[in-house]
């Protein structure tokens, strides 16, 4: 049906309006083609009244749906998530079998107290994304129980360290160990606890001022994977609105913590990976640059490829 323009003439016959309508149509088609040809997710930052608002990047909805990840609407997002699950799972497998750098020293040290202390510094400062990821940690490492001076240290992308508050955090950690009698006793707890219960109980006890969730979680995962203590994560233990929690809310399309934990366990089980792999995978899924946590360029012996394939099959992407 013809539409009349403001001149009282059908648009297709009006010499004035017809040209502008055609130009608008061409611009719309061109814009659509540009959007469809670039599937990379983009982040946007805007300011409103002095408040910085970050709009999370999302790929265009292409009809993708998965019961395991109900928040995803794009095959590209699903493939990226599968790749990050693969990398995180491969990293954990290699951490157990062939740890690189400082992780190898923590695993092989005959001094359990010193090894545990180095693990704490590694989790608190966080490895750098560089050719020498542990250089900053090794530069400040002390012999337990002498506390390290982190005032001039550069934390890694997952570190909790804040120069002005680091002394308070390490002093709180020292008291945590002293109350138990030693670090070994603190991370062992009740000898009768199964690994998952030990992980959960010590995770709760490590709630120290300035020691954020990701550092506590990574510390326990690292100590367990390196064989220092019998520890196994029972879930993601989402207790803060950090990057992992925010990513989980996006992927699983819900904010309730209990439901997030259940859906994370279901995805990990379907992908055939340990639940702790989702901790790093979810955060990396939201980023344009991957956090490797000391594994930049490390040989994962194909464990990442196998895990990626399992995750892709589970997500049907």
pLDDT tens-digit map of 128-147: 999 999 999 999 999 999 99
What's the pLDDT at 84?
A: 98
* β-sheet bridge partners, residue 47: 52
What's the pLDDT at 14?
A: 60
Q: What is the pLDDT of residues 226-251, one digit of tens each?
A: 999 999 999 999 999 999 999 999 99
What 8-state DSSP symbol labels residue 13? G
What's the pLDDT at 4?
A: 56
> pTM for the complete prediction?
0.82
What's the pLDDT at 58?
A: 64
What's the pLDDT at 31?
A: 46
What's the pLDDT at 309?
A: 98
What's the pLDDT at 132?
A: 95
What's the pLDDT at 8?
A: 56
What's the pLDDT at 121?
A: 98
Residues of the chain predicted below pLDDT 70: 1-58
Cα distance between the two ends of the chain? 43
Alpha helix locations (H) across the chain? 17-37, 75-97, 101-108, 112-125, 135-140, 166-180, 183-188, 195-205, 213-225, 243-252, 257-271, 277-285, 303-315
């Amino acid at each position: 049906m013809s539409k009349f323009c403001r001149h009282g003439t059908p648009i297709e016959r009006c010499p004035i309006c017809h040209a502008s309508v055609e130009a608008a149509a061409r611009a719309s088609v061109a814009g659509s083609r540009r959007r469809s040809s670039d599937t990379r997710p983009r982040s946007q930052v805007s300011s409103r009244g002095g408040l910085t608002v970050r709009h999370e990047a999302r790929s265009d909805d292409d009809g993708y749906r998965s019961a395991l990840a109900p928040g995803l609407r794009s095959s590209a997002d699903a493939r990226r998530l599968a790749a990050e699950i693969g990398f995180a799972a491969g990293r954990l497998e290699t951490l157990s079998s062939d740890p690189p750098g400082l992780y190898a020293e923590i695993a092989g040290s005959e001094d359990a107290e010193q090894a545990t202390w180095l693990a704490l510094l590694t989790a608190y400062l966080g490895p750098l994304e560089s050719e020498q990821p542990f250089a900053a940690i090794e530069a400040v490492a002390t012999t337990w129980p002498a506390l390290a001076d982190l005032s001039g240290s550069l934390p890694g992308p997952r570190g909790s360290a804040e120069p002005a508050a680091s002394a308070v955090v390490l002093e709180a950690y020292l008291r945590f160990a002293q109350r138990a009698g030693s670090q070994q006793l603190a991370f062992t707890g009740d000898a009768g606890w199964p690994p998952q219960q030990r992980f959960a109980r010590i995770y709760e006890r490590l709630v120290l001022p300035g020691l954020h969730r990701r550092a506590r979680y990574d510390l326990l995962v690292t100590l367990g994977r390196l064989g220092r203590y019998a520890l196994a994560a029972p879930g993601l233990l989402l207790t803060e609105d950090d990057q992992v929690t925010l990513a989980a809310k996006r992927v699983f399309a819900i904010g309730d913590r209990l439901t997030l934990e259940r859906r994370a366990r279901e995805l990990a089980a379907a992908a055939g990976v340990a639940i702790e792999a989702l901790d790093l995978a979810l955060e990396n899924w939201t980023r344009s640059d991957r956090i490797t946590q000391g594994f930049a360029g490390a040989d994962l012996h194909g464990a990442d490829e196998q895990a990626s394939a399992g995750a892709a099959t589970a997500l049907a992407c």
